[in-house]
Amino acid sequence: MSADIAVGATGILRAFNEAGVIGSADIQVAQRLSALSDETAADEVLLAAALAVRAVRTGSICVALARAAELDPDPDHPLPWPSADAMVEALRASTLVVGGRFGPLRPLALVDSDDGPLVYLRKYFEQEQVIRGILDARASSRPPVDVARAQAAIDEVFTAAGDDDPGPEYDRQRAAAALAVTSWTTVLVGGPGTGKTHTVARILGVLERVLGGDVRIGMCAPTGRAAAQLQASINDYDGLAATPVAHTVHALLGIWRDGTVRHGPNNRLPYDVVVVDETSMLSVTAMSLLLAAVRDDTRLILVGDPHQLVSVEAGAVLTDLTDRSLRSTSPLPVGFAELAGLPEADFSDEETVQLGDGVITLRWGYRFGTVIGDVAEAVNRGDADEVMRLIDADGGEHIELVDPEDLDDVHTDTVAWLSALRTAGEAGDAPAAVKALGQYRVLCAHRDGRYGVGWWSRTIDRWRESGRRTGPWPVGEPLLVTTTDKRAGIYNGDTGVVVRADGGVRVAFDKYGDIVTLHPSQLADAIPAAAMTIHRSQGSQFDVVTVVLPPAESALLTRELLYTAITRARKRVRIVGTADWLRAAVDRRVARASGLRGEVSEWTSPG
C-alpha cells in the first residue's frame, strides 16, 4: 500500500486519494473537522474539505469548485467528480459551514465570487478579508497634500539624483513618488532592473521633505537577505536626513517563536511610512498580520515583481492586488495628475485605472539587454510564438535554446567559470573571486532527478579540472548559505566562494561592496552553489545563466518560473530544454486560487 493512502478512507475519498488528487493528510484533516463539528458529513462535504486543505498545501488559499475537476490526473478516465452545484448544496446544509449544536465552530467558509463558489479553511478566508477590508478602508480617503510643497520636494530629489543613466522620455519614477505622496497605499511593481529600490529611496526623500525631517520610517522584507539588500540600496542614497533600518517582516512585527505578535491592531507600528520590499514573497498570513499593524494614517509602500515566483506558503498577494486594481473605479488621487505631469504620461488605459488603486508599474529596464527584456515581456504575456521568434532571431548572442543532450557549450562555460574561481581563490584574491562568483550560474527547477540541482552538481563535479575536490570545501568552491547568522552578518541565501588565506581557507562574501571573509567553521550550514534552484536565485543577478528546464509534464514548469530564471541574467541566457518544454512553460501560469482579485460574499446560513 502506498504511504500516502489514508487508512480507513472509503468511497469517493478513497478513489480521489488513490488517484493522487488528495493526500492522506488532506483526508485526515477533513475527517477530523467533521468529527469536531459533530457531523457525519456527506461525501461532497468531505471532498470539499479535503480539497480546501490540499489547496493550502499547494499554495492556494481556497478551492474554486467550478474548476476542481481540472485537478483530474487523467481526463480520459475522469474521477467521479460531484458537480459544483451538488457540492454547494451539501455545504450549505453542513455544520462545517453554518455551525452546529455545539457552538459556532465553522471550520469551512463557502463564498460566492466572480469565479463561482469558493471553499476556504476559515482561517484563510478571515485573513483574506482582513487584507481586503484594510486596503479598501485605506483607499476610501486620501492624505491631505500641499501640492506646491510636494512639487518642490519631487523636483529637488529627482534633480539631485542626476541623469547618469539613459531613461525613458516620461519618468515613471517621479510619477511613483507623486503617487506615494497623494495615496495612503502605493503598490510599486516592475521587473528586475527597473529601479524599484532606487525609486523607493527617492520616494522616502520626497516624503521626508513633505512630512518633515522627523518622519518615522519603517522598512522590511520577507527574508533577512532581502532586508539586507533593501538596506544597502537605501544606504547608497544620501538624500535622507536619517537612514532608516530594514528588518525582516517578522522582526518588524515582533513575531516570536511561540506565535505571539508584539504589533497588531491593538499596538500599531509607530511609523509614518512603512516600506515592504519583495512583497511577492509574502504569504496571505504575513500580509494580513502586517496590514493589521499599520496605522490608518501611515503611508504604506508595497514593492515587488508580481511576475516572479510567489510565496512558498499559501497566497499570491501581490499578484492578486495588481489584478484587483484592474477593476478599480477609484478616481486618481487629488493632486496626482499635476505632480505626475499626466498630460505627458505614457500610461495605458489599464494602467491609468490601476493608478486610481495606487498601483504603478516601472517598465524601463536598466539591467539587462533589450533582447532578454523583450523575451521576459513575451513570457509574461504568454506569447510562446513570440518567445520562440525572439530566440531564433537573436541567434544565441543574448539568449539561446539548446537540446538537453547537447551540453558541450554548457560544459565549456561552466569549466571556464570554475577555473576562474579557482585561480582567484588560490591566489587569495577575494575581490576577484567574489567578482567571478557573479559571472555565471546553473539554475534548475528541481532539487532532484535528471534535471535537478543534485544531478547537475554531480555532473559539474565530474567536469572540474584535475584538482577538483580535495576536501569538503576546495578552493574556488561557490557556496550557498542555508541558515541565517545575524552575528556574522550572513543570511540564508547569501553566496560566497572559498579562497586561500592565512595558511588555510576562508569563505569570501560580497556584502554590498565590502568583502567579508569567514572561516568555514563560522558558517552554520552551507551547500555547493555551482548549480542552484531558481527559487534560491530570486534576488540575485549573474552575467550569464544556464537555465535547466524540466520536461513539460513537470508541475514546476510555469511561466513564473521561466520569467524568474531568465531575468537573473544581465548579459546572456542559455535555456537547456526542448521547444515543447519551453512552450509548456510559457503557456502554464501558477494557478493559485484566491478571492482577493474580486468581490466576494460569504454564505452563512439559510436563516
For residues 64 and 154, state if they share a domain: no
Domain contains 249: yes
Encoded amino acid at 564, one letter: T
Domain's final residue, options 312, 336, 361: 361
Domain contains 128: no
Domain contains 296: yes
- Is 279 in contact with 285 (CB distance < 8 Å)? no
Angle 212-278-571 from CA coordinates, rounded to 5° = 115
Per-position b or e across 217-242, b if 16+ CB within 10 A of its CB: bbbbbbbbbbbbbbbebbeebebbee
Angle 493-496-499 from CA coordinates, rounded to 5° = 165
> Which uninterrupted H or E stretch holds 603?
strand 600-603
306 is in an annotated binding site: no
Q: How far from 395 is each of 186, 256, 392, 401, CA to CA, in Å?
A: 40, 53, 5, 10
Residue 367 confidence (pLDDT): 57
224 is in an annotated binding site: no
Distance in angstroms (rounded) separating the CA atoms of residues 138 and 304: 20
pLDDT band at 1 (very low <50, low <70, confident <90, very high): very low
- The pLDDT tens digits for 479-497 are 888 887 777 777 888 888 8
User: Bridge-partner residues for 108, per DSSP?
Assistant: 121
Distance in angstroms (rounded) separating the CA atoms of residues 321 and 606: 32
Task: State the chain's mean pLDDT as an integer.
Answer: 85
For residues 80 and 149, state if they share a domain: no
- Residue 467 clears pLDDT 50, i.e. is over it: no
Pairing of strands 246-248, 217-221: parallel
Cβ-in-10-Å burial (0-12, 13-18, 19+) of 40 comes to exposed
pLDDT band at 172 (very low <50, low <70, confident <90, very high): confident
For residues 390 and 481, state if they share a domain: yes
195 is in an annotated binding site: yes
For residues 66-72, give the mean pLDDT. Answer: 83
Q: Is 243 helix (H, G, I), strand (E, B) or coil?
A: coil
Centre a 10 Å sphere on the Cβ of residue 421 and count the other Cβ atoms it contains.
Answer: 25
Question: For the chain, what is the largest distance between any 2 Cα atoms, rounded to a whole number of angstroms?
Answer: 79
Cβ neighbours for 482, distance < 8 A, ≥ 6 positions apart: 492, 525, 526, 527
Distance in angstroms (rounded) separating the CA atoms of residues 287 and 128: 9
Cβ-in-10-Å burial (0-12, 13-18, 19+) of 514 comes to exposed
550 is in an annotated binding site: no
For residues 390 and 535, state if they share a domain: yes
CATH of the domain at 202: 3.40.50.300
Whole-angstrom Cα Rg for the chain: 26
For residues 389 and 478, state if they share a domain: yes
Distance in angstroms (rounded) separating the CA atoms of residues 174 and 268: 30
- The pLDDT tens digits for 270-324 are 999 999 998 988 889 999 999 999 999 999 999 998 887 666 677 678 888 888 8
**Nearest Cα to 319, choosing from 334, 333, 309, 327?**
309
pLDDT band at 580 (very low <50, low <70, confident <90, very high): very high
Residue 468 confidence (pLDDT): 53
Per-position b or e across 450-466, b if 16+ CB within 10 A of its CB: ebbbebbbebbeeebee
- Is 248 in contact with 222 (CB distance < 8 Å)? yes
Domain contains 161: yes
For residues 484 and 513, state if they share a domain: yes
For residues 589-598, give the mean pLDDT. Answer: 77
406: DSSP letter: -
330: DSSP letter: P
**Nearest Cα to 529, choosing from 422, 457, 606?**
457
CATH of the domain at 111: 1.10.10.1020
193 is in an annotated binding site: yes
For residues 106 and 248, state if they share a domain: no
**Tally of structural domains, the chain:** 3
Distance in angstroms (rounded) separating the CA atoms of residues 506 and 67: 54
For residues 344-371, give the mean pLDDT. Answer: 79
Domain contains 2: no
- Is 57 in contact with 64 (CB distance < 8 Å)? no
Domain contains 190: yes
Residue 592 confidence (pLDDT): 72
Residue 161 confidence (pLDDT): 53
For residues 100 and 57, state if they share a domain: yes
**Nearest Cα to 547, choosing from 530, 533, 565, 529?**
565
Pairing of strands 273-276, 217-221: parallel
For residues 463 and 339, state if they share a domain: no
Instruction: Please give the residue range of the domain that contains residue 38.
Output: 11-122
- The pLDDT tens digits for 13-35 are 888 888 788 888 888 888 888 88
- Is 129 in contact with 141 (CB distance < 8 Å)? no
Residue 535 confidence (pLDDT): 86
Domain's final residue, options 327, 361, 395: 361
Pairing of strands 63-64, 600-603: unpaired
194 is in an annotated binding site: yes
For residues 227 and 311, state if they share a domain: yes
190 is in an annotated binding site: yes
Residue with cell string 558541450: 408
For residues 98 and 191, state if they share a domain: no
Q: Where is pLDDT greater, at 284 or 103? A: 284
Domain contains 106: yes
Domain contains 344: yes
User: Bridge-partner residues for 600, per DSSP?
Assistant: 113
- Is 194 in contact with 307 (CB distance < 8 Å)? no
Global pTM value: 0.85
Distance in angstroms (rounded) separating the CA atoms of residues 90 and 97: 10
Q: How far from 263 is each of 185, 222, 492, CA to CA, in Å?
A: 19, 16, 25
For residues 334 and 391, state if they share a domain: no
- The pLDDT tens digits for 328-347 are 788 888 888 888 887 767 78
Domain's final residue, options 361, 388, 420: 361
Residue 289 confidence (pLDDT): 93
The proportion of the chain whose per-residue pLDDT surpasses 70, expressed as a percent, equals: 93
Cβ neighbours for 249, distance < 8 A, ≥ 6 positions apart: 220, 221, 222, 255, 276, 282, 286, 290
